Structure 1
Amino acid sequence: MSKINSFITTQEIWQQPRLWRETTAIIEARQREIKEFIERAGSKGRLRVVLTGAGSSAFVGESVSPYLNRISDYHVEGVATTDIVANPRNYLPDVPTLLISFARSGNSPESVATVSLANEMVSNLHHIILTCNPDGSLARDARDDEKSLVILMPSDSNDKGFAMTGSFTTMVLASLLIFNLDKLPIFNQEVAKLADRGDALLESPEIAELASEDFQRLVYLGSSTLQGLARESALKMLELSAGKVVATWDSPLGFRHGPKSIINEQTLAVFYLSVDSHARKYELDLLREMAADKQAKLVALLPAPAPEVAELADYAISVSDTGLQLADDVFLLFPYILFAQSIALRKSAALGINPDNPSPSGTVNRVVKGVKIYPFERKG
């Protein structure tokens, strides 16, 4: 444990519960400004909201868009900047749009290019920049633009380590809060509970035990909101293990359609169980099936203890003794990703890799390099 404590990434994972409390305070202090800006952007029912970013920042949008689509009066979709830049015609129709850009550094070439392309192609366009870096290109360029609103995350969320950790969770939280401004007191109470539980989860001996398991493959399985999180979770293991652990993701129903071929005796399969009773039926069906297969080691994360899950899984880790007051999967994003980040960190250290710089050769970088942005010609 002392070796793990020496890494910057460890500190950045462990400080997240504090950053969540700080994020709620930031949004609460600016709630009137945020509400008025969104109202100016367009009328409900007509405004398209695009959540965008690159890599983990894109997965912020993938994780929260199903929920925001359900609870808001806007058409919300998550589209990666890497998709927009390559094929802008497919993703930037000229309709009233609020483009919400997620960015740790604010300097990724695709993120900067997406803002530029959107400005060129969408006549009625507003921007919200959720970023961890006040000095990044996205924040600087939007500062004096009346159609842009920059919301800075807590300063410590600008991770110095390679992998996005606190930057990811604070931007997830901020995106949820700005569309629930009328419910901030309730959200703040729930976030405080999640932060307290997060502190306890980070000290879980089960995570250390799991990281010591001899697995070479890892699968994360989740539905809807939790599917976006499964993708981010798999990326954390790929990044911090420098690809030595093959990590992938899917939905419980989609997994049977070919991707289940990855399973063998050296596979760890992690189920992100939902609070939704309908989705849970399909999740438990696959859990029963894989328990009967007796191949992969099975881990189930769940909102509250459930005897059947404990019988089926090798490890059943509940994030609350009683469940959540606000029964929605978006609140599971926070404790579930703490698990994924922690096990990736510990596995990295067990493999003799420096999680702060798992790719010293420069094959991959903290801020992407080698991307050339080409001029876009609207005709043709």
Structure 2
Amino acid sequence: MSITDDEIATQPRLWREALAGLDQARDLLAAPGEKVLVIGCGTSAFVAESLAFLREEAGLGVTDAGYASEPRVWRDWDRVVAITRSGTTTEVIAALRDVPAGVRRVVVTGVADSPVAEFADDILDLAAADEKSVVQTRFPTTFLTLARAALGYDVEPAITAVEEALALPLPIDLGGLDHFVYLGTGWTHGLAQEAALKIREAAQAWSESYPVLDYRHGPLAVAHPGSLVWLFGSADAALADDIRRTGATVLLGSTEPLVDLVQAQRLAVAIAAQRGLDPDQPRHLTRSIILS
């Protein structure tokens, strides 16, 4: 499935279909009172950050997020949730192999019979949301929608809002833009990081991501009339005014952050088309990192 045809547009339908697995997702992701570590690489690490914030916000217990590729001091986690679309990522497999005995290992993947299955006690199979493209779009958003529902959030408004947004043209004038900045707060910081990665991967564009209020602490220095600064999950008017003084274009996020992420995916595809690039096959990248 290519991000240049219907992959982005099919996301709301896939999200609704994924909710059929809500009971299993509650069992694997909510686990009230347990201490949970969520890990991944690349896109999956950003999704892990968002999930960790949402689970703690829901009052379900201490939840940490980390990169599977980064060594860490082991804490008394009861469960490790590993996110890997392909199920073949070397660092994720290595991290799960090192999980102490007795800790429940949950794998979220698009390929249930992949090598990571050997190290999983439970698998949340999202094969319907898998994609052939190197660049991820619908797999992470499908998982986040299912995870939010499993944690007790009402996701129907998000699904409806994205359907409405996808029915309209992208509300951004691409002319003169050469710099793309995404700012998030709380669980949307992970979404902002993912949005910035999408435009780097798909369009080879200069992009950055930061916590909303940290943007004044240095990164604002490079804002200029070619910058687009997009605030996810925040409508900080004072910060927006500070950014506009640089000549940059400011977008205040939707009340539903997943609308912003899907629109950012659309923007990445549009910039890739403008530059004559194939957004499905970024240079130097592969669908999965497998190390010898």
Normalising to structure 1: TM-score of the pair? 0.71
Is 1:109 the counterpart of 2:82? The answer is no
- Report if the CA contact (8 A) 1:9-1:355 is conserved: yes
Task: State the match for 2:51 in structure 1.
Answer: 64
Query: 2 CA distance for matches of 1:256 and 1:342?
Result: 27
Give the secondary-structure state (helix, strand or coil) at the position aligned to 1:235.
helix
Is 2:179 aligned against 1:217?
A: yes
Measure the CA separation in 2 of the matches of 1:26 and 1:345.
Answer: 30
1:68–1:7 Cα change, 3 Å: closer
Structure 1 residues 145-184: aligned runs within 5 Å: 148-153=121-126, 155-180=127-152
1:252 to 186, 190, 212: 212
CA contact (8 A) 1:236 1:341 kept: yes
Deviation string for 1:204-238 (max 9, x for gaps)? 2244x43x322111000111211111111100000
Q: Distance in 2 between matches of 1:356 and 1:31?
A: 29
Q: 1:226 to 1:61 in 2, by over 3 A?
A: same
* Match in the other structure for 2:263: 339
User: Displacement of 1:333 after TM fit?
Assistant: 3.5
Find 2:12's aligned residue among 17, 42, 57. Answer: 17
In the other structure, the counterpart of 2:243 is 290
C-alpha separation in 1, matches of 2:50 and 2:137: 15
How far has the Cα of 1:77 moved from its partner? 1.0
Query: Residue 137 of structure 1: CA displacement?
Result: 1.5
Contact 1:104 1:158 in 2 (8 A): yes
Residue in 2 that maps onto 1:197: 161
Q: Secondary structure at the match of 2:230?
A: strand
Task: Give 1:141 deviation, angstroms.
Answer: 4.2
Corresponding position of 2:275:
351
- Among 54, 58, 81, the alignment partner of 2:41 is 54
Kindly provide the amino acid, as one letter, of the partner of residue 285 in structure 2: V
Shift of the alpha carbon at 1:133?
Answer: 1.1
Query: Kindly tell me: are residues 31 and 56 of structure 1, through their superposed partners in 2, closer, same or farther at Cα, counting changes over 3 Å?
Result: closer
Q: Are positions 1:236 and 2:198 aligned together?
A: yes
The offset of 1:8, in angstroms, is 4.5
Query: Please, which runs of 5 or more residues in structure 2 have no aligned partner?
Result: none
Tell me by how many angstroms 1:130 deviates: 1.3
Q: Which amino acid aligns with 1:109?
A: T
Matches of 1:111 and 1:213 in 2, distance apart? 40
Q: Report if aligned partners of 1:65, 1:78 keep a CA contact under 8 Å in 2.
A: yes
Q: What amino acid sits opposite 2:146 in the alignment?
A: A
Give 3-state SS (helix, strand or coil) of 1:299's partner.
strand
Q: TM-score, normalised by structure 2?
A: 0.91
Shift of 1:97: 2.1
Q: Does 1:268 align with 2:228?
A: yes
> Is 2:181–2:229's contact at 8 Å kept on the other side of the alignment?
yes
Partner SS, residue 217 of structure 2: coil
Q: How far off is 1:297 after superposition?
A: 1.4
Structure 1 residue runs of 5 or longer lacking an equivalent are: 1-5, 143-147, 181-186, 275-279, 304-331, 373-380
Q: What secondary structure sits across from 1:302 in the alignment?
A: coil
Q: Deviations over 1:173-231 (max 9, x none)?
A: 23333333xxxxxx5xx433322321221232244x43x32211100011121111111
**2:8 & 2:277 partners in 1: Cα distance?**
17
Rounded to whole Å, the distance in 1 between the matches of 2:35 and 2:187 is: 19
8 Å Cα contact 1:103/1:132 also seen in 2:
yes
- In structure 2, what is the Cα distance between the partners aligned to 1:214 and 1:162? 28
Shift of 1:111: 0.6
- C-alpha separation in 2, matches of 1:298 and 1:195: 25
CA RMSD in angstroms, aligned pairs only? 2.2
Alignment correspondent of 2:109: 131
Partner of 2:254: 302
Aligned-pair CA distance for 1:60: 0.7
User: C-alpha separation between the residues in 2 aligned to 1:297 and 1:288?
Assistant: 10
**Cα displacement (A) at 1:135:** 2.3
Matched, 1:368 2:270: no
Deviations 1:226-252 (A, max 9, x none): 1111111100000001x2x10001122
Relative to structure 1, the CA distance from residue 273 to residue 171 in structure 2 (aligned partners, 3 Å threshold; closer, same or farther) is: closer
- 2:30–2:150 contact (8 Å) kept in structure 1: no
